[in-house]
Chains A and B, each alone.
Chain A
């Protein structure tokens, strides 16, 4: 049996909308497919059809990146079965990012108040500068930071 088409209201907030051309609300209709649509399928569909840039800031593995909150019909998706929730017609799915400083996209109208200097620096900006808050020069510690994180992740079995 074929599942009926599913119409959804997708909303992006907390900065996540910047990955979707700055548009917060998207009315979408998912195509007919043999299996019912669950959130797992929806994320794949979003990645292929809606995401404009840097999908790694939104998707991690088959789920959303940790730090992005998901609400289905105004309820925490953790109560709804997360990826396994079967989407119903007219569902409302909200994605709110709580992550900081990741969504600065080069060359965006909204982001270029200092035009010339800003655009220039953005394009050549280093991955990170090791001077987040405390004001030290980029230290050897800053350079090994990634490696430390990686080994922590391995030690804690985080994929």
Chain B
């Protein structure tokens, strides 16, 4: 009954790899998984010796596996990197405080320094406060925009050269699908890049870009890694969940579907005459932005003015008013005030 490992042909296999169809034993799987991440890092030239690299750590499975593998590869292949764990505290009671406990344990297990930046210290608002104001309809917008900046700002405080995040192959394939379905050409082109934001911002990279979620979960399971597996309490049935379920359906009949979608995304070329937003910097905080004010500043201004819908959807018409600190007309205010639950 037991299937033999197709690599060492000695031990019993414990899993079938979705990418290759090979059946591997635990040790051969660990080796293959780690060395594939190494190959990704080497072939894309993600890091240079002596660099300080911040690992975006949420306490979830992906970032826990990333931290573990980065620590291991840094030693095994002598990358000469200085690794730091970087966490964002969104201020979500019962979710983030628990997962941060996991990160703190990881810090000790992997003996890596840890920096936590909180929404409260950066923006003066926790996610709990934001949800009280904006309800559950658009809260993911706030959280997503704020988190992106928070990680960058934490990285700047620590003088980090690069940030790496735990995005896996499933995440990337899902994002390709989402951007395709939304017609978001600029993001569709960017989303498969392994490194982004090298101009101005701190470069971000995704060493697990080609690692299947199944393998990440099983790697964590077989290695008995300590991770936190509860979902954010504020995102029930988000749009993304549907793309995810669709992707999983595809994977179940053809496991290569995930890597195939990434391949398609990587090889798309956008016609030259397609208009792309020009990247500039925010006039208020200096963060990269395609508008005069970056999304985070507009959202924050909305929260502080008691107009939570400011920054949700189109807002470029109001940009000059916000920059000049001018009051909005009553009509504009009314539109931005109402929150529908």
Contacts and interface: CB of A to CB of B under 8 A. Distances in A.
Contacts of A35: none
Contacts of A96: 217, 221
B238 A128 contact: yes
A102 B3 CA distance: 34
Interface string B132-146: 100111101100110
Contacts of B253: 156, 158
B129 to A, nearest CB: 10
Interface stretch (B74-82, B99-107, B108-116, B242-250): B242-250
Contacts of B144: 133-135
Contacts of A114: 93, 128, 131-132
Contact of A136 (B92, B182, B214, B236): B182
A89 interface: no
Nearest to B309: A137
Interface residues of B, number: 65
A13 B229 contact: yes
Contacts of A20: none
B213 interface: yes
A132 to B, nearest CB: 4
Interface string B52-90: 000000000100000000000000000000000000000
Interface in B154-180: 170, 178
A153 B249 contact: yes
Contacts of A135: 138, 141, 144-145, 295, 311-313
Contact of A101 (B136, B141, B232, B341): B232
A141 B182 contact: yes
Interface of A: 13-15, 65-67, 69, 71, 74-76, 78-80, 94, 96, 98-104, 110-111, 113-114, 117-118, 120-122, 124-137, 139, 141-142, 145-146, 148-149, 152-153, 156, 158
* Top 8 closest pairs, chain A to chain B, by CB: A132-B239, A76-B15, A135-B141, A67-B248, A66-B248, A113-B94, A66-B252, A113-B93
